[in-house]
Amino acid sequence: MNANMNINWYPGHMKKTREAIQKNLSLVDVVFELLDARIPYSSQNPVIDSIVKDKPRIIILNKSDLANDKSNSLWQNHYRDSDVPSILFNSLSGKGVENILKLASEVLKDKRKSYEDRGVINRPIRAMILGIPNVGKSTLINTLSGRKGTRTGNKPGITKVNQWIKIKGSLELLDTPGILWPKFEEEVVGLNLAFTGAIKDEILDTETLALKLIEVLMNIAPESLMKRYNIELQNATPLEIMESIANRRGCILKRGEFDYTKTSNIVLDEFRKGVIANITLELPKSRVSK
C-alpha cells in the first residue's frame, strides 16, 4: 500500500505542499499532470491552475487501459479544445512513452528555439510529475526511468535530495513527484474517488459504496453489469441487483442470508480492476455519474 494514501490534508499541510511544489516548479520546463482517465475531473486537484500558473503543462490521462475508448477520445478532444495537450497513457505497460517525449518537446518548441538561437544546444528538457495520491505517479516515474520497484519518499531519517532521472531524448525527470490533495467539496467527486480506489479511507462503508456503484453502473453501463454477472436488471433496485450478484457468486451465509460484505467487495474489486468493463465515470462538461 502506498504511504501517501493515509495523508489527511489540512490547510497548513496544503500550504506547505504548495510551497514545496512551487519551489520544484521553478526548476522545470514542463509539468506532467497525471489524471485518472476514468475520472479526469474528479482526480484533478481543485487549484491546479493556480499552482502551475504559466508553466507549460501536459495532461497525462493515466490508467486509460481501465477507461472506455470512446470516452478517452472525448476527453482528448476536450483538452485539445481547451488548449492543454493531453495524452492517453498506461503507466503499467509504458506503451507509447515516446509520445510523451514528443509532446513535451512540441510544447517546448519555442523555448528550445530561443535557447538554440542563443547558442545553447542540447539543453535537457526538465519535467516533474504532479497528481493526487494513487493516480500512478510512482508507476510512471518507474516506467519512464526503467527503474524497478517504488521509492517511498517520506521515511523519517532520510534526507530527501531531489535527483534528476535521465530519460530518453534529453528529457530529465525530477524523481520526486508533487503529491496534490484531491477535491473534497462535491459528494460525486468523493464517490468517484472511492469507486476507483483513489481513496481507501472509507468515506462510506463498503456496502453503501458498492450499492452506489451498482446504481451508477445501472445508469451508465447496464449491459456490462448484466453480462458480467449474468443477471437481469428490469425494474430492479440496486439492492436487488446486489442480491442477484450474491446468488450468482455464491455469496450466501450459512443461515441462507446474503453475504453483502463479500458481494460488495467483489463488485468494487472487479470494477477497480476493469473486469466488469472499461468504464469511464465522467465525461467532459456533462458528467455521467450523478
Residue 135: CB minimum distance to ligand GDP, A: 5
Question: With binding defined as CB under 6 A, does residue 4 bind ligand GDP?
Answer: yes
Residue 241: φ, ψ to 5°: -60, -45
Cell of 8: 489527511
Residue 104: CB minimum distance to ligand GDP, A: 18
Interface region with ligand GDP, contact rule CB under 6 A, candidates 63-71, 113-121, 156-164, 234-242: 63-71
Q: Contact letters (x/-) for ligand GDP, 33-62, by CB under 6 A? A: -----------------------------x
Pairing relationship of beta strands 164-167 and 86-88 according to DSSP bridges: unpaired
Give the interface size with ligand GDP as a residue count (CB under 6 A). 17
Q: What separation in angstroms does the CA of 272 have from each of 38, 181, 278?
A: 10, 21, 10
Residues 90-129 that bind ligand GDP (CB under 6 A): 90-92
Q: Which does 42 bind (CB under 5 to 8 A by kind): Mg ion, ligand GDP, none?
A: none
Pairing relationship of beta strands 86-88 and 57-62 according to DSSP bridges: parallel
Length of the chain: 290
Quick count: other Cβ atoms within 10 Å of Cβ 22?
Answer: 14
Cell of 206: 463498503
Quick count: other Cβ atoms within 10 Å of Cβ 158?
Answer: 9
CA distance 185 to 179: 19
Question: With binding defined as CB under 6 A, does residue 133 bind ligand GDP?
Answer: yes
Q: Which is nearer to ligand GDP, 138 or 264 (CB)?
A: 138
Q: Which does 90 bind (CB under 5 to 8 A by kind): Mg ion, ligand GDP, none?
A: ligand GDP
**DSSP alpha helices (H): ranges in 96-232?**
97-107, 109-117, 137-145, 187-196, 206-220, 222-229
Q: Which residue among 7, 14, 25, 65 contacts ligand GDP (CB under 6 A)?
A: 65
Q: Which residue is nearest to ligand GDP (CB)?
A: 136
Cell of 159: 534526507
Question: With binding defined as CB under 5 A, does residue 62 bind Mg ion?
Answer: no
Q: Which residue among 42, 64, 86, 138 contacts Mg ion (CB under 5 A)?
A: 138
Pairing relationship of beta strands 164-167 and 125-131 according to DSSP bridges: unpaired
Question: With binding defined as CB under 6 A, does residue 63 bind ligand GDP?
Answer: yes
Residues that bind ligand GDP (CB under 6 A): 2, 4, 62-63, 65-66, 90-92, 131, 133-139
Residues that bind Mg ion (CB under 5 A): 137-138
